[in-house]
Amino acid sequence: MAITGWYVLYRDGPGHSIREADGFDAAIVAAWQLNRDGRDVVQIGPLDKKRANEVIGASEIQRVCALIAE
């Protein structure tokens, strides 16, 4: 069975936290909500290590969140 979940890595005070999501779209929405709440989202990526090259960094996340907010 393939792992289809995604993670959202964000700064939470002095450390980092991870929020899991069921899919890419849910991870983007979670990142947008965290960003809206003032958290610094660092990375979004798949939980499946075979797809590790699909990780999205902070600048791309900011760009996508800005498009959602429009």
Two tokens, residue 13? 């005070």
8 Å CB contact between 30 and 8: yes
18 pairs with which residues across the strands?
9
Shortest CA distance to 42 belongs to which of 64, 26, 22, 62? 62
Q: What is the pLDDT of residues 33-61, one digit of tens each?
A: 999 999 999 999 999 888 878 899 999 99
Annotated domain spans of the chain: 6-69
Q: What is the pLDDT of residues 10-25, one digit of tens each?
A: 998 899 999 999 999 9
